[in-house]
Amino acid sequence: MPSSVASSVVTGPAADAAGDTVSGADAPAHGDRLLSLRLDARPARDGAAPLKCAVDLRIPNRITQPARLLVCLPGGGMNRRFFDLMSGDDDSYSFARAMTAQGYLVAMLDHPGIGDSDRPLDADTLTPDFIADANAQVTAQLLSGLRSGTLDSGVAALPTLQSIGVGHSMGAMLTVLQQAAHAQHRAIAVLGFSTRGLPEYVSTEVLALSRTEQRARLVELARLSFAKPATAAPAAPRSGDAANTGDFYAAGKAEPRGAAALRPALDRMLTLPAFLSMLPDNIAEACAQIRVPVFIGLGELDIAGPTHAVPASFAASTEVCLHILPQAGHSHFIFAARRGLFRRMAQWLRALAEE
């Protein structure tokens, strides 16, 4: 079991050059600035075309010290806008703006093949490990540029800057894989994810295979399961269900304005990592390698299985904090309980700074 499990269970109610800025700053209510960047996820070498990923970086007016960069990865069928949801001028659904209000820098990434990031000609290259490595390269460029003060003229050098990995659903799985392989982050926050997978949506033939066989045949099995290419557009939202999720995501309990705000975040599904996330014990080995502090956020009506069983996956972590959002489904930010999540994560980040 983790050495320290803190449970806060709530029961109450385009430019071509790497690093170039491709859109100007805005002026949201909190006074932060938005930089939209395209950064190298794979340089041109060995005959392979370069691959660039889209990043939105929100920079607060006043940066909390010690400086922290939250690197946010969206889940399946979503793009980077998931972390910056807006309903008109209501920014209460935006995780990014809630965190910049606390003085943290927030980077929101589009995985390769998603949103405004480049798409490889061969979509079968978009394996979970490939995407985790690409996101790690983008993270390294963000950290290097911000530490040296060369990323943007409006941001002074932050030589002691550290990153916190933040992922939702499939993005949480990719955050764990990135941390296990590259150990870049000071801590990680995994939202709406567990190693339980979704075995009820996986065929009995696939479940009968060993984990080694499942990983070795990931491309083949994902194709059979989804009956679609390795990137596929999701179905159009149904009338009255902006998230196109139905009861599977407990969308009926979401705030209508929040559900509508989710529309711009809908995107293609990366079927290889999505399929892996559905398999039982999908990345159990990687979770067991994580030694940094872990924040786990789960909706009371989430799809991750028994909530209190999830911390055990991070047995080597120095500290595991579990926060449960009451009456919330999978897309946490569109439910009323998001406010408690934002407050609890801010407390967790402040406690990290004091260690």
Q: Could you write out the three-class secondary structure of the chain?
A: CCCCEEEEECCCCCCCCCCCEEECCCCCCCCCEEEEEEEEEECCECCECCEEEEEEEEECCCCCCCCEEEEEECCCCECHHHHHCCECCECCCCHHHHHHCCCCEEEEECCCCCCCCCCCCCHHHCCHHHHHHHHHHHHHHHHHHHHHCCCCCCCCCCCCCEEEEEEECHHHHHHHHHHHHHCCCCEEEEECCCCCCCHHHCCHHHHCCCHHHHHHCHHHHHHHHHCCCCEECCCCCECCECCCCHHHHCHHHCCHHHHHHCHHHECCEEHHHHHHHHCCCCCHHHHHHCCCCEEEEEECCCCCCCHHHHHHHHCCCCCEEEEEECCCCCCHHHCCCHHHHHHHHHHHHHHHHHC
**Is residue 237 over pLDDT 60?**
no
Q: Which is it for the CA torsion 207, 211, 217, 221, positive or negative?
A: positive
Interval 27-45 mean pLDDT: 74
CB burial of residue 225 (10 Å; 0-12, 13-18, 19+) = middle
Tell me the per-residue pLDDT of 304-334, one tens digit each, with 9 for 90 and over: 999 999 999 999 999 999 999 999 999 999 9
What pLDDT is stored for residue 262 in this prediction? 94
User: 11: number of CA atoms within 13 Å, CB side?
Assistant: 1
- What percent of the chain has a predicted confidence (pLDDT) above 90? 74
Give the β-pairing of 269-270 and 231-232: antiparallel
Interval 274-289 mean pLDDT: 96
What pLDDT is stored for residue 120 in this prediction? 85
**Is residue 68 over pLDDT 50?**
yes
Delimit the domains of the chain by residue range: 5-354
Of the given ranges (26-35, 166-175, 260-269), which has the lowest mean pLDDT? 26-35
Interval 101-114 mean pLDDT: 97
What pLDDT is stored for residue 18 in this prediction? 34
Interval 6-10 mean pLDDT: 40
As a CATH number, domain 5-354 is 3.40.50.1820
Angle, CA of 221, 282 and 318, to the nearest 5°: 160
Is residue 150 within 8 A of residue 158, CB to CB? The reply is: no
**Is residue 211 over pLDDT 80?**
yes
pLDDT band at 46 (very low <50, low <70, confident <90, very high): low
What pLDDT is stored for residue 291 in this prediction? 98
Residue that the structure tokens 């800057």 belong to: 161
Interval 114-134 mean pLDDT: 91
CB burial of residue 198 (10 Å; 0-12, 13-18, 19+) = middle
**Is residue 281 over pLDDT 90?**
yes
Cα–Cα distance, 346 to 349 (Å, whole number):
5
- What percent of the chain has a predicted confidence (pLDDT) above 70? 83
What pLDDT is stored for residue 223 in this prediction? 87
Q: Count other C-beta atoms under 10 Å from residue 40's C-beta.
A: 18
Q: Which is it for the CA torsion 310, 132, 333, 162, positive or negative?
A: positive
pTM, to two decimals: 0.87
pLDDT band at 14 (very low <50, low <70, confident <90, very high): very low
Is residue 152 within 8 A of residue 35, CB to CB? The reply is: yes
